[in-house]
Structures are given as structure tokens and as C-alpha cells.
């Protein structure tokens, strides 16, 4: 029972990280109608920039806090130099151009930081366990990810539902040309939203860094998962992205944690432990296929 | 025939095909074995690009998972080989059948969606195949599987590099011939019509879904063939051959060459491989050590191509006669 609780928490933590990544993607897709494959590169840049700044400042908190505005500026710069030219183009052009950006960023990281992976240590004050229930210890750092992730999700929900910027974002998602015609500075709005998405992606990257590793291409695979999440949730829907991220997080973790034991009943233990992660990944894609066949525009997507 | 040679496009294409046809003789004469293996990969990738062009170029269907057919063709050969079935007469038909059946199945599901959702669902199916491949612990898992090349006793020895190259080249020519017939047939015209105006084609009474499904299935089968060849080229299969980056490379190649142009995939593949081989030494010439980071140039180049050169290389060769 405790084991199950811990695994569910791990699933929530993974789900929140992926939600942070998916939130920026679904905003850019919903509002700017832009497929941004390079979103995973911003996740990677977040981790690498944080690694450098933590090294310079010698403080996890300070380095992290400095990394976020840096990612924002990077995101805005990418938007101005490349992304802005893609809004009016078809999806194929966007896929191609942002695929080019991925190659660029992966190689840039290799040139600047070298081919070897980096690691960010868990900060001292979080390098312990806390009791989430009496007698049930849980790593404090992972718990901190859940707290930060949940706070950001709430912040985002508030931002989109209650603020003027959020109102413009929602208006932009339903009719881009109309809000432009109403005198809203669309260029500025798009830059801001893209920068915001970059911050979320970078935050997810740097928070994941101490539990995973900081390496070239770390964003490429998780990007595909984030795309799957927004497609399941329905493009442009923050709520859909959140729900889908939670479901995918649970499938992934529960698959890794419990499938090996189930598989061991009918196959060798080494085969079971290597097949389980693959099967849980496959389950995620099967889920997506089922959702799309059932609802071709995702769970909360706009019907056309 | 001779009139076609007078246009820049005809002349360039004829020259390329001529060089490709005698490539093993050239590499032998100049003692450049390495070039023959690049040539073989160019020819195999061209076949895959021709198959993607059939749906992406003529049908306007952006399939972002085409490398999965590399995997299915390759793994069908690899698994049979690992199980002791070495005859190509069994391996190849099984692999083609597997690729065709899989293409028909996922085509039937994917083609229900449109636009961005289609891009994503094809990507998802490719990832599914990828993870199945990496989960096949009995067949090497993530590390891949060394295989022995398919045997066609008495007919051809695939271990001989030159014969294998010529086999691939012959299959490329056959694919190009088939694609030319396909594009200008009634079938191809309906497909191209649906690309420019699906609603009108539907209103005219054409069952667009069925035409697209047939195209997707044919493209899948041809993609499977390139997978069979790729597995035999390296005597090795691994999940890496169907990673989503490879699917991206295939789209890049088709667009670079010119979408919906018969020989576009051939130009695109050659340009892609030449850039891959030539950029590092060129950059090293500018500054020693830069060559290692050639993707820093290649990435932005791709952005520029996507933005400003969507007609691809084919459009540089003058207007097309339809």
C-alpha cells in the first residue's frame, strides 16, 4: 500500500513536469497555430543554463532563479529571429524549421558544454526525506517538484482565467485575426506567450536535472511525450493538457513499477525488467491512438 | 526521350542516374571503397524518400513516422534471420507483407484525423513501433541485432558489395518507374486533386479516404522494402533506424528535393548526404576544429530551406511540365 502511494506520487511528479512542458506547447499551438518541435530544446537549455549559473553562484536557489529570466530572454530571442516568420506558414514548414532548430541547439550545447553529460546535485536543504504520512518517507526534492509544479499549474490557471493577459490568450486561441483587428498588439502578445512557454519548459528541464541527467538531446524524447499529451488533451486546452499529463505520468510510473512483477509470472526476470519500460511507453501511444480514433480532435479540443 | 535530355532537369537527372549506374566501377577504379557504401545508403534512402513522396508530395499527407517502415522491414528480416530463416525468398515477402499490413492498419486509423493531428498520430504510431523494437530483449533490445544477410542461392550474393549495390539501384529505378506511372494515373490524379481541394473531390463523388488509404499502404510497402535493404546493407538492425529523428530526416529530404516531383527524392537524398559529408571538411577549412560542429550550420540551413526554398532543388531546374 505504501509502495503504491509512493509510486502514485512519482507519477504525479512526472505528470506535473510534463504538464509544464506541455503547457507552453499547447499555448503556442492553440494561439499561434505553431508546431514547435524545438520546445524540447528549451527544456534542455533550461537545464544547461541552470547548471552553469549554479556553478557560478554556488547556490541552487540563486542559480535557478537567475536561469528563469535567462530562458525567457532566450525564448523571446528565438521567437523574434525564427518563430515569428513561421506563424503564417503551414505545419510542414513549421515542422521542418523547428526540426532545424533542434539540430542547431543540440550541436550548440555540444560545442559550448562538451559532449559529456552534466549533473546537478540535489541542494543540501532538500537532500533528505520527509514523512508525507506517519511512517512513510518520501524524498524531499521530489516532493518539492510536486509543490512547485502544482503552484505553477495554479498560477497558470489563474493567469489564463482571471487576468487581462489570460483573456487575450483565450481570445487569441479562439480567433487570432479578430483580436488583432481589435487593436491588440499581436506581435508583443505572441512574443510574451512564447517566452512564457519557454520559461515553463526551462523550469521543467532544470527541475528534472537533479533526478535525471543533463545531456544533449534530453528534450527530444520528452518533447514527443509532451506532444502526445497535448494531442490527447486537445490542442489549445490547458485543462486537457493537465489531465492528459496526469494520466500519462501515472501510466509511465505504474508501468515501470508494477509491470515487471506482473510480467515475471510468465517470463524471465531480466526480460521482464527490460520489457516493462518499453511496454509502458507503448501504452501511452496506444492511449493516444485510441483517443484520436474516438475523438479526432482530442478530449477537450475544439470541434471543427 | 532525346527531347527530355535538352532541358536542365532531364540532363541533370540523366547524369545522376548514369553516375549511379556505374558507381561500383568508379569506386573500384579510384579505389574508394568508402564511397560505395555511402552510395548504397543514398540509393536505399532514395527508395524510402520516393515512398514518402507518394503520400507527402502527391497526397499532401504529412506523415511524421515514415522511418517506422525502415524498422518493420528491417526487423522482419532481422528476426527471421535470428530464428535461422536465412532464405531471402521467405524473409523478403514476409517483411513486405508485414509493412503492407501495418501500413493498411495504421492508415485506416490515422486518416480519420486531419492536419496537425495526422502529423501527431503518425508520429505516435512510429514511436509505438520504436518502443516495441527496443523492448524486444530477445532480439537485442536497445542495442540492436547483428544479422546475416539474406541468401538468394544461385541468384545473387548480397555479401558482394557491388552486386548488392546494383540490386538496390535496380530497385530504385523500378520504384521511380512505378512512381511515375502512379503519379500520372487516374489514381494519382485523384490523390493530387484531394491534396488541393478535398471537399471538391468528395463532392465529385470520389471516395477520398479509400484513395488515401491505398496510397498510404503502397507507400508503406515501398518503405518496408527500403527497410529490408537497409538491414542487409549494415547486416544490423536496431531501434535507432526508426527513431523519430530519422522520420524528420526523410521529410527534410523530400522537401529539399522538391515535393511531388518524380526525381525530387533522388536529388534530396544526394544533397542531404553530400551536405553531411562535405560540411565538416568545409568548416574545417574555414577554421580547424569547426567541422565537428557542422550541425550548427546545417540546422539554420534547414530553417532557411523551410522558409524560402519550399520548391526544393527540383524548382531550381526550371518549370515542370505537367
Write out the three cell numbers for B306. 523551410
Residues B218 and B89 sit within 8 Å (Cβ to Cβ): no
Closest residue in A to B56 (Cα) is: A92
Query: Mind telling me how many Å the CA of A20 is from chain B's nearest CA?
Result: 19
Q: Which residues are within 8 A (CB) of B48 and not within 5 positions of it... i.e. 6 or more apart?
A: B66, B67, B69, B70, B222, B223, B226, B227, B250
Kind and range of the H or E run holding A137: strand A136-139
Residues B50 and B265 sit within 8 Å (Cβ to Cβ): yes
Question: Which residues in chain A are contacts of B109 at CB distance < 8 A?
Answer: 289, 292-293
User: Nearest CB to A100: which of B125, B294, B306?
Assistant: B306
CB of B121 within 8 Å of a chain A CB? The answer is: yes
In the stretch 181-220 of chain A, residues with CB closer than 8 A to chain B read 220
Mean confidence (pLDDT) of chain B: 91
Find the angle CA(A112)-CA(A114)-CA(A117) to the nearest 5 degrees.
120
Number of H helices, E strands in chain B: 14, 2
CB of B90 within 8 Å of a chain A CB? The answer is: no
Residue-level pLDDT at B45: 97
Query: Mind telling me how many Å the CA of B66 is from chain A's nearest CA?
Result: 14
Residue-level pLDDT at B256: 92
Residue-level pLDDT at A303: 58
In a domain, A99, yes or no: yes
Q: CB distance B119–A35 less than 8 Å?
A: yes
CB of A229 within 8 Å of a chain B CB? The answer is: no
Question: Which residues in chain B are contacts of A111 at CB distance < 8 A?
Answer: 293, 296
Please state the rounded mean pLDDT for residues B18-23. Answer: 92
Question: Which residues in chain A are contacts of B138 at CB distance < 8 A?
Answer: 271
CB of A80 within 8 Å of a chain B CB? The answer is: no
Write out the three cell numbers for B308. 524560402
Q: CB distance A96–B134 less than 8 Å?
A: no
In a domain, A89, yes or no: yes
Please provide the distance, in angstroms rounded to a whole number, between the alpha carbons at the two ends of chain B.
16
Q: CB distance A289–B125 less than 8 Å?
A: yes
User: Nearest CB to B303: which of A82, A271, A286?
Assistant: A82
Write out the three cell numbers for A138. 518520501
Q: How confident is the model at residue B284 (pLDDT cuts 50, 70, 90)?
A: confident
Report DSSP state, residue A123: P
In the stretch 192-211 of chain B, residues with CB closer than 8 A to chain A read none
CB of B135 within 8 Å of a chain A CB? The answer is: yes
Please state the rounded mean pLDDT for residues B145-167. Answer: 91
Residue-level pLDDT at B208: 94
* Domain assignment of residue A191, given as a range: 7-216
Closest residue in A to B307 (Cα) is: A93
Kind and range of the H or E run holding B120: helix B115-135
Distance, in Å, from the CA atom of B32 to the CA atom of A64, rounded to the nearest integer, reads 52
CB of A57 within 8 Å of a chain B CB? The answer is: no
Question: Which residues in chain A are contacts of B301 at CB distance < 8 A?
Answer: 100
Nearest to B279 by CA among B258, B264, B301, B257: B301
Q: Is B80's pLDDT higher than 80? A: yes
Residue-level pLDDT at B2: 63
Report DSSP state, residue B237: E
Among A259-268, B138-147, B299-308, where is mean pLDDT lowest? A259-268
Nearest to B316 by CA among B268, B277, B247, B279: B268
pLDDT by residue (tens digit) across B33-45? 888 999 999 999 9
pLDDT by residue (tens digit) across A176-235? 788 888 888 888 888 999 999 999 999 999 999 998 889 998 988 888 889 999 989 988
Nearest to B253 by CA among B41, B73, B110: B41
Q: How confident is the model at residue B1 (pLDDT cuts 50, 70, 90)?
A: low
CB of A81 within 8 Å of a chain B CB? The answer is: no
Nearest to A262 by CA among A281, A251, A250, A275: A275
Distance, in Å, from the CA atom of A141 to the CA atom of A157, rounded to the nearest integer, reads 24
Q: CB distance B117–A224 less than 8 Å?
A: no
Interface mutation vs chain B, best among A35, A89, A285, A291, most B CBs within 10 Å: A285
In a domain, A235, yes or no: no
Q: How many domains does chain A have?
A: 1
In a domain, A246, yes or no: no
Write phi, then psi, for A65 (nearest 5 degrees): -65, -35
Residue-level pLDDT at B200: 93
In a domain, A174, yes or no: yes
Residue-level pLDDT at A246: 94
In the stretch 26-45 of chain A, residues with CB closer than 8 A to chain B read 29, 35, 37
Interface mutation vs chain A, best among B112, B118, B124, most A CBs within 10 Å: B124
Q: Exposed, middle or buried by CB within 10 Å (0-12, 13-18, 19+), for B9?
A: buried
Backbone φ/ψ region at A129: left (φ over 0), alpha (ψ -120 to 50), beta: beta
Query: Mind telling me how many Å the CA of B245 is from chain A's nearest CA?
Result: 9
CB of B67 within 8 Å of a chain A CB? The answer is: no
Q: CB distance A86–B307 less than 8 Å?
A: yes
Q: CB distance A271–B137 less than 8 Å?
A: yes
Q: Is A174's pLDDT higher than 80? A: no
Q: CB distance A95–B119 less than 8 Å?
A: yes
Please provide the distance, in angstroms rounded to a whole number, between the alpha carbons at the two ends of chain A.
45
Among A127-141, B16-30, B51-65, where is mean pLDDT lowest? A127-141
Q: Exposed, middle or buried by CB within 10 Å (0-12, 13-18, 19+), for A78?
A: buried
Mean confidence (pLDDT) of chain A: 88
The complex's ipTM works out to 0.86
Question: Which residues in chain A are contacts of B302 at CB distance < 8 A?
Answer: 96-97, 99-100, 103
Q: Is A87's pLDDT higher than 90? A: no
* Beta bridge partner(s), residue A136: A133
CB of B89 within 8 Å of a chain A CB? The answer is: no
Please state the rounded mean pLDDT for residues B301-315. Answer: 87
In a domain, A203, yes or no: yes
Nearest to B69 by CA among B51, B89, B91: B51
User: Nearest CB to A99: which of B112, B132, B248?
Assistant: B248
Best mean pLDDT range from A89-103, A162-176, B119-133, B218-232: B218-232
Residues A137 and A131 sit within 8 Å (Cβ to Cβ): yes
User: Nearest CB to B116: which of A104, A235, A277?
Assistant: A235
In a domain, A79, yes or no: yes
Distance, in Å, from the CA atom of B93 to the CA atom of A200, rounded to the nearest integer, reads 49
Q: How many residues does chain B have?
A: 322
CB of A87 within 8 Å of a chain B CB? The answer is: no
Q: How many residues does chain A have?
A: 304
Residues B219 and B106 sit within 8 Å (Cβ to Cβ): no
Residue-level pLDDT at A170: 79
Residues A200 and A20 sit within 8 Å (Cβ to Cβ): yes
Distance, in Å, from the CA atom of B58 to the CA atom of B53, rounded to the nearest integer, reads 7
Question: Which residues in chain A are contacts of B250 at CB distance < 8 A?
Answer: none
Residue-level pLDDT at B17: 93
Residue-level pLDDT at A206: 92
Amino acid at each position: 500500500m505504501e509502495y503504491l502511494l509512493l509510486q502514485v506520487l512519482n507519477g504525479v511528479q512526472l505528470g506535473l513536469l510534463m504538464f509544464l512542458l506541455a503547457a507552453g506547447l499547447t499555448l503556442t499551438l492553440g494561439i499561434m497555430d505553431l508546431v514547435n518541435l524545438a520546445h524540447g530544446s528549451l527544456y534542455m537549455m533550461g537545464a544547461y543554463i541552470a547548471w552553469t549559473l549554479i556553478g557560478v553562484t554556488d547556490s541552487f536557489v540563486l542559480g535557478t532563479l537567475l536561469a528563469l529570466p535567462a530562458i525567457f530572454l532566450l525564448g523571446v530571442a528565438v521567437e523574434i529571429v525564427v518563430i515569428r516568420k513561421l506563424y503564417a506558414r503551414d505545419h510542414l514548414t513549421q515542422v521542418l524549421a523547428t526540426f532545424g532548430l533542434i539540430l542547431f541547439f543540440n550541436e550548440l550545447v555540444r560545442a559550448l558544454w562538451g559532449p559529456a553529460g552534466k549533473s546537478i546535485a540535489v541542494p543540501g536543504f532538500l537532500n533528505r526525506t520527509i514523512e508525507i504520512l506517519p511512517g512513510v518517507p518520501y524524498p524531499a526534492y521530489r516532493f518539492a517538484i510536486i509543490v512547485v509544479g502544482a503552484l505553477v499549474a495554479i498560477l497558470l490557471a489563474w493567469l489564463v482565467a482571471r487576468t487581462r493577459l489570460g483573456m487575450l490568450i483565450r481570445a487569441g486561441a479562439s480567433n487570432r485575426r479578430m483580436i488583432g483587428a481589435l487593436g491588440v498588439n499581436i506581435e508583443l502578445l505572441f512574443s510574451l506567450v512564447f517566452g512564457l512557454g519557454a520559461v515553463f519548459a526551462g523550469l521543467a528541464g532544470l527541475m528534472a536535472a537533479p533526478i535525471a541527467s543533463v545531456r544533449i538531446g534530453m528534450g527530444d524524447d520528452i518533447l514527443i511525450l509532451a506532444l502526445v499529451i497535448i494531442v490527447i488533451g486537445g490542442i489549445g486546452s490547458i485543462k486537457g493538457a493537465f489531465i492528459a499529463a496526469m494520466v500519462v505520468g501515472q501510466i509511465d510510473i505504474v508501468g515501470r513499477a508494477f509491470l515487471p512483477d506482473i510480467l515475471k509470472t510468465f517470463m524471465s526476470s531480466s526480460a521482464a525488467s527490460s520489457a516493462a519500460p518499453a511496454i509502458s511507453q507503448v501504452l501511452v501511444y496506444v492511449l493516444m491512438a485510441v483517443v484520436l480514433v474516438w475523438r479526432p480532435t482530442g478530449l477537450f479540443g475544439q470541434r471543427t | 526521350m532525346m527531347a527530355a535530355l535538352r532541358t536542365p532537369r532531364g540532363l541533370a537527372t540523366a547524369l545522376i542516374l548514369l553516375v549511379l549506374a556505374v558507381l561500383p566501377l568508379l569506386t573500384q577504379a579510384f579505389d574508394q571503397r568508402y564511397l560505395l557504401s555511402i552510395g548504397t545508403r543514398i540509393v536505399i534512402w532514395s527508395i524510402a524518400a520516393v515512398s514518402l513522396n507518394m503520400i507527402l508530395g502527391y497526397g499532401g499527407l504529412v506523415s511524421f513516422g515514415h522511418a517506422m517502415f525502415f524498422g518493420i522491414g528491417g526487423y522482419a528480416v532481422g528476426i527471421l534471420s535470428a530464428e535461422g530463416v536465412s532464405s531471402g525468398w521467405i524473409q523478403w515477402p514476409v517483411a513486405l507483407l508485414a509493412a503492407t499490413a501495418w501500413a493498411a492498419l495504421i492508415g485506416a486509423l490515422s486518416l480519420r484525423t486531419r492536419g496537425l493531428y495526422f502529423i501527431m498520430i503518425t508520429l505516435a504510431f512510429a514511436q509505438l513501433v520504436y518502443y516495441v523494437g527496443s523492448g524486444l530483449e530477445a532480439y537485442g533490445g536497445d542495442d540492436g541485432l547483428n544479422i546475416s544477410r539474406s541468401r538468394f542461392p544461385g541468384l545473387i550474393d548480397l555479401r558482394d558489395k557491388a552486386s548488392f549495390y546494383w540490386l538496390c539501384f535496380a530497385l530504385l529505378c523500378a520504384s521511380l518507374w512505378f512512381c511515375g506511372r502512379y503519379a500520372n494515373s487516374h489514381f494519382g490524379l485523384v490523390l493530387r486533386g484531394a491534396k488541393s481541394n478535398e471537399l471538391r473531390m468528395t463532392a465529385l463523388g470520389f471516395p477520398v479516404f479509400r484513395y488515401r488509404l491505398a496510397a498510404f499502404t503502397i507507400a508503406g510497402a515501398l518503405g518496408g522494402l527500403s527497410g529490408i535493404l537497409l538491414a542487409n546493407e549494415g547486416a544490423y538492425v536496431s531501434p535507432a533506424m526508426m527513431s523519430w529523428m530519422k522520420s524528420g530526416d526523410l521529410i527534410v529530404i523530400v522537401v529539399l528535393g522538391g515535393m511531388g516531383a518524380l526525381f525530387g527524392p533522388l536529388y534530396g537524398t544526394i544533397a542531404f548526404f553530400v551536405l553531411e559529408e562535405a560540411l565538416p571538411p568545409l568548416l574545417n577549412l574555414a577554421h580547424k576544429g569547426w567541422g565537428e560542429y557542422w550541425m550548427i550550420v546545417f540546422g539554420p540551413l534547414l530553417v532557411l530551406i523551410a522558409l524560402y526554398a519550399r520548391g526544393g532543388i527540383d524548382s531550381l531546374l526550371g518549370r515542370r511540365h505537367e
